[in-house]
């Protein structure tokens, strides 16, 4: 059985279901790289271009972890799946950068899909997926079935992570929990926090320096930007004078703006990757808007590969302390942006 390697980084965290299902249905073995470890990070930092963002660097490590075990690597060149909004340029360039930077890689399967700029539609998606399928089987029925199943799997995945407005309101009223259940902390009020950032940061404990567990430990009930109902995000984005066109950044800024307006959380934590292009824009907009309406404190944590987990922990603790104190003392909190 042929083995196809899928690096567990960047867009994997969005499209994992679709990709793994597709390759399984084609009768191949989809090998996903292990969760980020110290070794993977070490390899990443050593081999990736210096100026790249941390998330992209991690991709290098995952590719290196896979390269000797698989026959193919699957690194799609993904522009966007929305008719106007775009992803990050790095998603498109990665496959070719890797090919040129790391010698002796297995063959890279790199379909290009870009709805926004190249005008690809459903049919193009189908055609491209079909072409990938032909590499593994000549049986058209098998390929078509694989594509359908993959798309379905992805839809189901969205259904499980995205919540609807009703669930959101329930969460806001503390009637349900959406993520890891917060630990009970004696004599302390349970806090509610919105944790926003890229999917590949939020869901990779190593990259996010264990923030989810820290929050849980401190008795914080949180929601992530990834889970936010899409219609609310779009509604918030319409309030901007100019449409923000970075697909995944909309989710982040939209979540921040929603909670700034609804004031249903105690605080917002925004995870920003240092030297991330889209983050620098959305982060600035968020900071400016938050200064204009500073009731819900916004903490922007800027970090990269040099940041130590301990640094993250102290920051989180300080922020949580501040939120708990503010409840009694009614102090006015300000937006803070810190490099850790």
DSSP at 107: E
Q: Are 65 and 34 in contact (CB under 8 A)?
A: yes
If the CB atoms of residues 139 and 280 are measured against other proteins, the closer one turns out to be: 280
Among 48, 88, 237, 247, binds ligand SF4 (CB under 6 A): 88
For residue 84, the minimal CB distance to other proteins (Å) is 6
Binding to other proteins, residues 130-169 (CB under 8 A): none
| Contact between 198 and ligand SF4 per CB under 6 A | yes
Among 16, 21, 44, 56, binds ligand SF4 (CB under 6 A): 56
For residue 105, the minimal CB distance to ligand SF4 (Å) is 20
Among 127, 152, 189, 288, binds other proteins (CB under 8 A): 288
For residue 141, the minimal CB distance to ligand SF4 (Å) is 37
Name the phi and psi angles at 120, rounded to 5.
Answer: -70, 135
Q: Are 168 and 231 in contact (CB under 8 A)?
A: no
Half-sphere exposure of 283 (CA within 13 A, CB side): 21
If the CB atoms of residues 52 and 266 are measured against ligand SF4, the closer one turns out to be: 52
| Contact between 128 and other proteins per CB under 8 A | no
Among 41, 67, 71, 97, binds other proteins (CB under 8 A): 97
| Contact between 55 and ligand SF4 per CB under 6 A | yes
| Contact between 327 and other proteins per CB under 8 A | no
Q: What angle do CA 87, 236, 155 make, to 5 degrees?
A: 50
Q: Is 113 exposed, middle or buried (0-12, 13-18, 19+ CB in 10 A)?
A: middle
> Radius of gyration (Cα) for the chain, nearest Å?
21
Q: What is the rounded distance in angstroms from the CA atom of residue 294 to the CA atom of residue 312?
A: 23
Site string for ligand SF4, 271-290 (x = CB under 6 A): --x--xxxx-----------
For residue 163, the cross-strand partners are none
Number of residues that bind other proteins (CB under 8 A): 44
Residue 198 binds: one of other proteins, ligand SF4, none (C-beta under 5 to 8 A by kind) = ligand SF4
| Contact between 107 and other proteins per CB under 8 A | no
Half-sphere exposure of 43 (CA within 13 A, CB side): 15
If the CB atoms of residues 283 and 297 are measured against ligand SF4, the closer one turns out to be: 283
Among 130, 178, 245, 264, binds other proteins (CB under 8 A): 245
| Contact between 92 and other proteins per CB under 8 A | yes
Q: Is 115 exposed, middle or buried (0-12, 13-18, 19+ CB in 10 A)?
A: buried
Task: Choose the binding region for other proteins from 115-123, 150-158, 186-194, 204-212 (rule: CB under 8 A).
Answer: 115-123
Q: Find the length of the chain.
A: 340
Q: Are 255 and 233 in contact (CB under 8 A)?
A: yes
Sign of the CA dihedral 281, 283, 287, 290? positive
If the CB atoms of residues 118 and 176 are measured against other proteins, the closer one turns out to be: 118
Closest CA to 201 of 307, 72, 97: 307
| Contact between 86 and ligand SF4 per CB under 6 A | no
Q: What is the rounded distance in angstroms from the CA atom of residue 333 to the CA atom of residue 137?
A: 60
Q: What is the rounded distance in angstroms from the CA atom of residue 269 to the CA atom of residue 13?
A: 20
Q: What is the rounded distance in angstroms from the CA atom of residue 57 to the CA atom of residue 45?
A: 6
Residues at the interface with ligand SF4 (CB under 6 A): 53, 55-56, 88, 90, 198, 273, 276-279
Residues at the interface with other proteins (CB under 8 A): 49, 51-52, 77, 79, 84-86, 88-90, 92-93, 96-97, 100-101, 112, 114, 116-118, 240-245, 274-278, 280-281, 283-285, 287-289, 291-292, 302
């Amino acid at each position: 059985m042929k083995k196809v390697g899928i690096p567990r980084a960047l867009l994997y965290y969005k499209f994992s279901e679709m990709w793994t299902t597709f390759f399984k249905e084609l009768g191949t073995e989809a090998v996903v790289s292990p969760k980020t470890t110290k070794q993977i990070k070490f390899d990443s930092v050593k081999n990736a271009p210096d100026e790249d963002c941390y998330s992209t660097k991690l991709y290098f490590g995952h590719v290196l972890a896979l390269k000797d075990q698989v026959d193919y690597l699957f690194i799609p060149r993904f522009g966007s799946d929305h008719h106007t909004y775009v992803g990050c340029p790095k998603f498109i360039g990665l496959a070719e950068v890797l090919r040129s930077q790391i010698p002796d890689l297995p063959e890279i399967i790199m379909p290009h899909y870009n709805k926004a700029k190249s005008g690809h539609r459903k049919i193009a998606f189908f055609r491209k997926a079909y072409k990938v399928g032909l590499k593994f089987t000549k049986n058209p029925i098998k390929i078509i079935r694989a594509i359908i199943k993959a798309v379905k799997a992805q839809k189901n995945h969205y259904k499980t992570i995205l919540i609807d407005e009703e669930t959101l309101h329930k969460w806001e009223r503390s009637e349900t929990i959406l993520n890891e259940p917060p630990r009970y902390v004696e004599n302390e009020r349970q806090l509610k926090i919105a944790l926003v950032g890229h999917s590949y940061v939020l869901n990779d404990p190593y990259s996010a320096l264990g923030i989810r567990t820290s929050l849980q430990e401190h008795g914080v009930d949180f929601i992530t930007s990834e889970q936010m109902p899409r219609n609310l995000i779009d509604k918030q984005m319409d309030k901007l004078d100019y449409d923000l066109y970075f697909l995944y950044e909309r989710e982040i800024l939209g979540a921040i703006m929603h909670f700034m307006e609804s004031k249903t959380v105690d605080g917002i934590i925004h995870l920003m990757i240092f030297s991330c292009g889209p983050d620098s824009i959305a982060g600035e907009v968020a900071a400016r808007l938050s200064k204009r309406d500073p009731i819900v404190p916004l903490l922007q944590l800027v970090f990269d590969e040099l940041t130590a987990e301990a640094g993250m922990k102290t920051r989180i603790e300080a922020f949580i302390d501040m939120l708990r104190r503010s409840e009694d003392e009614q102090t006015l909190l300000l937006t803070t942006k810190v490099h850790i």
